[in-house]
Structure 1
Amino acid sequence: MSEFVIDIERQLSKLGKDIQDFVERIVPLEDQGHDFTPACDIIESGEQVKILLDLPGLSKKEIHIALKEHVLTVKGERADQLSEEESYRRQERKSGVFSRSFALPENVNTAETEAQLRNGVLSITLPKSEVLNDTQSIPIK
């Protein structure tokens, strides 16, 4: 291709990005200050799969973990802590209901799944096994 065609493609790509940035500034893609999606990492080794979710400010009682047909679901709610006289001047921390679901590999033994909540991070460990047993609910330690 000629340098002219490459330059036109580069300019059109930049124009497309500029338009997308403009639209996102004018029309936010998310509803500010409401439901949130906790950040997560999924780590896999030869022995296990580990899911880490950032849930600062939540207690064990506010989190529910369920397993059904090799899909792990984590649900909960982070409520606002304002009194009637208070209002937000700035709100950057998300609150509301959340639900995250994860399809699990077939070689995960869900009956031996463990969950821990430490320092605002929920850690779910799912050991791999040839012998598979199933479970419906996972208590958080």
Structure 2
Amino acid sequence: MSTDITPATEKTPTHAPETAGGGRIYRPLTDIFETDQCFSMMVEMPVVAAAAVEITFENRVLTIRGKDEPMRPENLEFAYAEYGEADFERAFTLWEDFDPDRIDAEMRGGLVTLTLRRAPEAQPERIALKGA
């Protein structure tokens, strides 16, 4: 009888590179929406508490990091695990037309939502067409 169950101690996700410190980093799934006034991002961080999320914006690079908080019951050991413990990180290079003072972020149910507003001078203007 064969089994395809991998013990938790041997599980190494191929999509999660290791850091210099030996920990794994997951690249969270992200949906991006754009309008003339803003840019919105929805980033999945399912096991990260809001207090463990760090968002930085420097040199046009928006970086989102989240520290995984292991959910391991006391006095129990995993017999099988499909989700390895790791931190989350994703970075995006943005255009220069965003106003860094007008970035909003919130988290609900493991989903970080960012709204990046364009600077007023970067928003498109409509030009009225005069005609006879």
Answer yes or no: same fold by TM over 0.5.
yes
1:8-66: per-residue Cα shift (whole Å, max 9, x none)?
xxxxxxxxxxxxxxxxxxxx73469x532211111111111111101123222100001
1:47 aligns with 2:31: no
Given the two structures, how large is their TM-score scaled by the length of structure 1? 0.64
1:80 aligns with 2:70: yes
* Other-structure match for 2:52: 62
Given the two structures, how large is their TM-score scaled by the length of structure 2? 0.67
Instruction: Give ranges in structure 2 of 5+ residues lacking alignment.
Output: 1-12, 18-23, 123-132
Count of aligned residue pairs for this structure pair: 105
1:118-133 correspondence runs (5 A): 118-131=108-121
116 and 84 in structure 1: CA distance in 2 versus 1, 3 angstrom threshold: closer
Give the number of the structure whose residues are more often helix, by fraction.
1
Give 4+ residue runs of structure 1 displaced > 6 Å after superposition. none
Q: CA separation in 2, counterparts of 1:30 and 1:92? A: 13
SS at match of 1:101: strand
Give the number of the structure whose residues are more often strand, by fraction.
2
Q: CA separation in 2, counterparts of 1:56 and 1:104? A: 25
Task: Give the alignment's Cα RMSD to 1 decimal.
Answer: 2.5
Compare CA radii of gyration and give the structure with the larger one.
Answer: 1
* Other-structure match for 2:14: 29
SS at match of 1:61: helix
- Percent identical across equivalent pairs? 22
